[in-house]
Chain A
Amino acid sequence: GAVVSQHPSRVICKSGTSVKIECRSLDFQATTMFWYRQFPKQSLMLMATSNEGSKATYEQGVEKDKFLINHASLTLSTLTVTSAHPEDSSFYICSAQRGRGGEQYFGPGTRLTVT
């Protein structure tokens, strides 16, 4: 199988605080992991591509200082939403790619609510 976990599944935080979301590939090594954001009834919006041991590549319009990504190992990537605001409330999903250019396996998502 190809299992990807995310933690936490849900988080509520106050405006101005930071939140860290973890993404782990449980049974395979992922050179590349991806972070997506999804609004209700909309498709996935790629935020950034994370390669193990190097800096993440951010999509246009995504603030790299606000959404900090760390890919410290072949099985773990983290997304930290810094100084969160209510407009950051969304469903954040990570995926891990097995092999170069291969299919992506998605985590279950994290529902972030900023109050």
Chain B
Amino acid sequence: EDQVTQSPEALRLQEGESSSLNCSYTVSGLRGLFWYRQDPGKGPEFLFTLYSAGEEKEKERLKATLTKKESFLHITAPKPEDSATYLCAVQNNNDMRFGAGTRLTVKP
């Protein structure tokens, strides 16, 4: 059965303290892995799509990487405005499956 597991469940960082969020997956026929950011009471905001192992994408302080078993979302020198829940999702041939998310809090 396809599974997506995100860790940690919650992460508290000081401003400027870099860290990584993990998304482990087992899926038959991966067509894409997606990262989203979700603020409370809002819909998820698309960040990245990764299609194949070894691929990396960057946007401002965020960098997403992909292997055959997991993806990392690296946050470099985070700011309080980066506080949000980060969701990853995997797309197989039929549907998209979401992880439970990592709730990130960045304290000033």
Which A residues form the contact surface with B (CB < 8 A)? 2, 4, 6, 34, 41-44, 46, 49, 91, 93, 95, 101-109, 111
Question: Does B42 belong to the interface (CB within 8 Å)?
Answer: yes
In the bound complex, what is the Cα–Cα distance between A27 and B60 (angstroms)? 25
Smallest Cβ distance from B44 to chain A, in angstroms? Answer: 5
Top-4 shortest CB links A-B:
A106-B43, A43-B100, A106-B44, A109-B43
B98–A44 CB distance below 8 A = yes
In the bound complex, what is the Cα–Cα distance between A29 and B107 (angstroms)? 40
A106–B36 CB distance below 8 A = yes
Tell me what chain B mostly uses at the interface: helix, strand, loop, or mixed: strand
A46–B100 CB distance below 8 A = no
B45–A103 CB distance below 8 A = no
Write out the residue numbers on chain A whose beta carbons fall within 8 Å of the beta carbon of B43. Answer: 4, 6, 93, 95, 106-109
B91: contacting residue among A2, A101, A108, A111, CB under 8 A: A101
Q: Given that A49-B95, A109-B43 are known contacts, is A43 also in contact with B32, CB under 8 Å in the complex?
A: no
Write out the residue numbers on chain B whose beta carbons fall within 8 Å of the beta carbon of A6. Answer: 43
A103–B100 CB distance below 8 A = no
Smallest Cβ distance from B24 to chain A, in angstroms? Answer: 15
A103: contacting residue among B41, B49, B95, CB under 8 A: B49
Beyond A43-B87, A103-B34, A111-B41, list 7 extra A-B contacts (CB 8 Å). Answer: A2-B46, A4-B43, A43-B98, A46-B95, A95-B44, A106-B44, A109-B41
Question: Does B79 belong to the interface (CB within 8 Å)?
Answer: no
Smallest Cβ distance from A33 to chain B, in angstroms? Answer: 12
Question: Does B78 belong to the interface (CB within 8 Å)?
Answer: no
B46–A105 CB distance below 8 A = yes
B45: contacting residue among A34, A43, A106, CB under 8 A: A106
